[in-house]
């Protein structure tokens, strides 16, 4: 992946709480559109000082099969991630269980027919495949990338496909924008026996029509978060605000933010979620390499640790490791 290493060097800091075990609940591995972020890149970031014991690799619509049945092409990504995970597991010098859980993609709009795709994913990675992520992002402003039609989560075919997750005990990673939080709450309420995890804090937006309206957006976002938190089958990933959609300028700066600056900016969002969901339903994520454009791996995790410095040891254990390990059924010694 093309990235400016100088930025990370300028943002270098001493590692806070280096012995605190971490399960990185969300990262990607890819080779696409001239960008590469593969095992060696991830290991370089992980090796920056924090004790990352395991990771969750999440789909990003990369490395698909080039040939064959269209609905089965996403299996290429699961096969790719499984291969990297097996390679890492066979290397005794790697102290992190890379991609110990894998979240893939299947077109839930296929309805009942998606069952065959889910079974194929599970067969391709029987010990690691844990769920599906479906990008349902849609916004009327035109300033953001829409990856799904409006109102997809309420459509009958999508819900029939979504219901198939229950049969295979698979979870759902929800990726959407903050104005869609109510739609997700309606979906979660209709399927209380399917575990859902909200990605990237529910993506509070800060560009386009949302630029310069951070207080207004925060209020609307918080209302959506509180509604979701009332549903016991929903958890949340804490992170992902380094993307350009959040409206911060970190990706444009030569000198990247310190952990103190990061903590001040993202802390209010994280604290709302922890208070609403409780540590047992919150998990920290790096969202690398997307976040890499704005922050270094080491500084990002320092910011998370700084935000939670006053939490109890059991609460921090849940936030940094145990919630993700339980949600994704990861068995890793800390």
Specify the CATH superfamily of domain 16-327: Metal-dependent hydrolases (3.20.20.140)
Confidence at residue 11, expressed as pLDDT on a 0 to 100 scale: 52
pTM of the model: 0.95
| b/e 46-81 (16+ beta carbons within 10 angstroms → b) | bebbbbbbbbbbbbbebbbeeeeeeebbbbbbbbbb
Position 332 confidence tier, pLDDT thresholds 50, 70, 90:
low
Listed in order, strand segments (DSSP E) in the chain are 22-27, 30-32, 35-37, 52-58, 97-104, 129-135, 171-175, 196-198, 234-238, 282-284
> From edge to edge, which strands make up the β-sheet containing 196-198?
22-27, 52-58, 97-104, 129-135, 171-175, 196-198, 234-238, 282-284
Contact 141, 209 (CB under 8 A): yes
DSSP reduced 3-state for 63: coil
Residue 3 has pLDDT above 50, yes or no: no
**Residue pLDDT, tens place only, 16-69:** 999 999 999 999 999 988 889 999 999 999 999 999 999 999 999 999 999 999
Report the C-alpha gap between 156 and 158 in whole angstroms: 5
Peptide bond into 330 cis (omega under 30): no
- Per residue in 229-268, pLDDT tens? 999 999 999 999 999 999 999 999 988 999 999 999 999 9
């Amino acid at each position: 992946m093309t990235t400016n290493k100088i930025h990370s060097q300028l943002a270098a800091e001493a590692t806070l709480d280096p012995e605190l075990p971490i399960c990185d609940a969300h990262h990607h591995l890819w080779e696409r559109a001239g960008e590469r972020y593969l095992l060696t890149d991830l290991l370089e970031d992980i090796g920056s000082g924090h004790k990352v014991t395991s990771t969750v690799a999440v789909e990003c619509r990369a490395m698909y099969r080039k040939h064959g049945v269209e609905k089965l092409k996403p299996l290429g990504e699961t096969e790719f991630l499984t291969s990297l995970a097996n390679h890492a597991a066979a290397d005794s010098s790697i102290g992190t269980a890379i991609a110990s859980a894998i979240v893939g993609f299947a077109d839930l709009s296929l309805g009942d027919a998606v069952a065959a795709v889910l079974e194929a994913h599970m067969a391709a990675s029987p010990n690691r495949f844990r769920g599906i992520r479906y990008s349902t992002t849609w916004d009327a402003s035109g300033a953001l990338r829409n990856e799904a039609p409006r109102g997809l989560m309420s459509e009958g075919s999508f819900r029939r496909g979504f219901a198939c997750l229950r049969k295979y005990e698979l979870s759902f990673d929800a990726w959407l924008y903050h104005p869609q939080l109510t739609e997700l709450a309606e979906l979660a309420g209709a399927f209380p026996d399917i575990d859902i995890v909200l990605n990237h804090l529910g993506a509070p937006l800060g560009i386009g029509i949302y630029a310069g309206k951070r207080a207004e957006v925060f209020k609307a976002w918080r209302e959506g978060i509180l509604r979701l938190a009332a549903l016991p089958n929903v958890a949340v990933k804490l992170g992902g605000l380094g993307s350009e959609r959040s409206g911060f300028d970190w990706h444009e700066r030569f000198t990247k933010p310190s952990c103190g600056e990061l903590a001040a900016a993202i802390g209010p969002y994280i604290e709302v979620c922890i208070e609403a969901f409780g540590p047992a339903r919150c998990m920290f994520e790096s969202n690398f390499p997307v976040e890499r454009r704005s922050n270094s791996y080491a500084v990002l995790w320092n910011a998370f640790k700084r935000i939670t410095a006053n939490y109890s040891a059991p609460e921090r254990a849940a936030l940094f490791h145990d919630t993700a390990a339980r949600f994704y059924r990861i068995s890793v010694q800390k």
